[in-house]
Amino acid sequence: MKRLVFTLCLALFAAPISLAAEASHLELIGFSKNGAYMAFTQFGYNDGSGFPYIDTSFVSISNNRLVVEVNTAVETDGATMAQARAKAKPAIALAMKKYGIIAGNQGRFIGVTPPHMDTTISEFFALDRTYGLSIATKPAISAVGYCNAPPQLLIVKLEGGSRNRDLQRDTRLPSSRECAYGYELRSAHLYGRSLAVFVSYQTLGFEGADSRWMVVTGTL
């Protein structure tokens, strides 16, 4: 039921993603019991090949760092998502055990500002205080010339608590986001003091822009 509620809530914020050539679906797996780690999956069918893929990320909350990524695809004509999930399951289970991830331990869902208003602070109340989330972008210097739009760096700010601070401030784009632009703050989950903020972005696809997900984490 928690996963169903989460999926329905995401749908409210994710409508514009359907305009992309290929849009990943997001599934939060959960947090570890101590809140030190979290994991999420994004999955879909590649717009060029049509093959199903599942990319699962395990993230260290306190330093906003990817610790393990399990990328799985089934490159066979007529392959199904069920086959991709079955192929990915052993590696995902191993990583979940290593980092203590509890499936379904999703914390509290936090709704955020609707898409296309990324300069507006989205407020939420936690731990007897009001906090605000906002994102901003700035042009990136791209090392590649094939992006279909000017790449952008991402800044995610957390306001409130003892001080305002950046949860993420890109200085360069990693290879996984070398053509990223069009970031949108979509949703967040809070587990104890552990915060996971989901952001969608557009990137270069085979038949146009593809939509992908990333998470930005920190502690209150």
Helix (H, G, I), strand (E, B) or coil at 18: helix
In this prediction, residue 22 has a pLDDT band, given cuts at 50, 70 and 90, of confident
In this prediction, residue 8 has a pLDDT band, given cuts at 50, 70 and 90, of very low
pLDDT digits (tens, 9 = 90+) for 121-168: 688 899 899 999 999 999 998 666 788 889 999 999 999 877 789 999
Buried residues in 144-175 as b, exposed as e (16+ CB within 10 A): eeebeeebbbbbbbbebeeeeeebbebeebee
Q: How far is the CA of 215 from the CAs of 48, 49, 55, 189, in angstroms?
A: 25, 26, 13, 10
What's this model's pTM, rounded to 2 decimal places?
0.85
Least confident of 15-19, 99-103, 112-116, 198-202: 15-19
179 C-beta neighbours (distance < 10 Å), count: 23
pLDDT digits (tens, 9 = 90+) for 68-78: 999 999 999 99
In this prediction, residue 17 has a pLDDT band, given cuts at 50, 70 and 90, of very low
Residue 5: predicted pLDDT = 39
User: In this structure, are residues 191 and 105 in contact, taking their beta carbons and an 8 Å threshold?
Assistant: yes
Tokens in use for 30? 């959960």
User: In this structure, are residues 20 and 205 in contact, taking their beta carbons and an 8 Å threshold?
Assistant: yes
User: In this structure, are residues 183 and 137 in contact, taking their beta carbons and an 8 Å threshold?
Assistant: yes
Residue 10: predicted pLDDT = 43
If one compares 47 and 202, the residue with the highest pLDDT of the two is 202
Please state the rounded mean pLDDT for residues 24-32: 97
CA distance 51 to 38: 27
Report the mean per-residue pLDDT for the chain. Answer: 86
Task: Give 157-186 as a 3 state SS string.
Answer: EEECCCCCEEEEECCCCCHHHCCCEEEEEE
In this prediction, residue 204 has a pLDDT band, given cuts at 50, 70 and 90, of confident
pLDDT digits (tens, 9 = 90+) for 76-120: 999 999 999 999 999 999 999 999 999 999 999 998 765 555 555
Please state the rounded mean pLDDT for residues 169-192: 93
User: In this structure, are residues 207 and 48 in contact, taking their beta carbons and an 8 Å threshold?
Assistant: yes
Helix (H, G, I), strand (E, B) or coil at 109: strand
* CA 219 from centroid of its chain's CA atoms: 17
Tokens in use for 139? 């042009």
Residue 12: predicted pLDDT = 35
Tokens in use for 17? 């993603």
